[in-house]
Amino acid sequence: MVKRLRDYGLQSERLLWPTKGPSRFEEELGVEELEQALGLTTLEKAVRWAQTKSMWPDTFGLACCAIELMAIVSSRYDIARFGMEAFRSSPRQADLLIVSGRVSQKMAAPLRQIYDQMLEPKWVIAMGACASSGGMFNNYAILQGVDRIVAVDIYIPFCPPRPEALMEGIIRLHEAHHAGVPPAYERRQVAT
Ligand code: SF4
């Protein structure tokens, strides 16, 4: 049950009218509605909001999925509306790694190095079947899921995922961060 302001003991008019109970305002509004109505927030929430509106992806593509990744900067998909069109060529300026394609064993060490050099907080999206699980490449040469070497926040299915699927994954990541879900590497540290 939603707690209203009156349930917290608020009676804003009691100084002027001691016998009056909670006002209509306090009867009807809860804390969240009050926050929305007045635009109140906390510094933590404001920072999280700013971070979701300016995630900078690392310029990193591995295989066919990378072609779909490139499409999201086009005018049709327009990743700029999320403040994310600035793909960075240095991991030191990026906080989002979109692993788009199969990861060969040979590529695992460079990928991990890029991940280690990224800013914190940082997030990882495993784009497509190959990055998520090795996909059709069930063999010794391909890593059977990038989560063996980095903590993954969002998995996107399909082979290849369309740009819309990647956008969906990005929106889910934003929603999770906005709701206070810590990045996957923090959760993994807690779990181990
Ligand atoms: S999931 Fe499909 S499109 Fe993506 S890298 Fe693997 S084979 Fe290529």
3-state secondary structure of 165: helix
Q: Which residue has the higher pLDDT, 60 or 122?
A: 122
Average of per-residue pLDDT across 28-39 = 79
What is the model's pLDDT at position 102?
A: 94
49 pLDDT exceeds 70? yes
Which residue owns the Cα nearest ligand 1 atom 3?
160
Q: In whole numbers, what is the pLDDT of the chain averaged over residues?
A: 90
Q: Which residue has the higher pLDDT, 41 or 93?
A: 93
More confident residue, 101 or 6: 101
Instruction: Give residues (CB < 6 A) around ligand 1.
Output: 63-65, 101-102, 128-130, 135, 159-160
**Residue at token pair 């990038």:** 146
Arithmetic mean of pLDDT, 40-68: 90
Lowest-pLDDT choice from 48-57, 94-103, 162-171? 48-57
Residue 111 has pLDDT above 50, yes or no: yes
Span 142-146, average pLDDT: 95
CA distance 148 to 90: 23
Ligand 1 nearest atom to the CA of residue 160, by list position: 3
What CA–CA distance (Å, rounded) separates 6 from 111? 54
For residue 189, what pLDDT is reported?
A: 64
**Atom 7 of ligand 1 has which residue's CA nearest to it?**
159
Quote the CA–CA distance of 75 and 120 in Å, as a whole number.
Answer: 29
What the block records as the tokens of 92 is 């030191």
Prediction pTM value: 0.80
Distance between Cα 88 and ligand 1 center (Å):
23
If one compares 89 and 31, the residue with the highest pLDDT of the two is 89
Q: With bands split at pLDDT 50, 70 and 90, how would you rate the model's confidence at 170?
A: very high
Could you tell me what percent of the chain has a pLDDT over 70?
Answer: 98
Q: Which atom of ligand 1 is nearest to the CA of 136?
A: 7
User: Which residue's alpha carbon is nearest to atom 8 within ligand 1?
Assistant: 64
Cα–ligand 1 centroid distance for 106 (angstroms) = 18
CA distances from 9 to 13, 117, 135, 150 (A): 12, 50, 57, 48
State the average pLDDT over residues 130-158. 95
What pLDDT is attached to residue 19?
82
Name the residue at shortest CA distance from atom 1 of ligand 1: 159
CB environment 19-40: b (16+ within 10 A), e (fewer):
eeebbeebeebeeeeeeeeeee
Instruction: Identify the band that residue 192 occupies on the pLDDT scale cut at 50, 70 and 90.
Output: very low
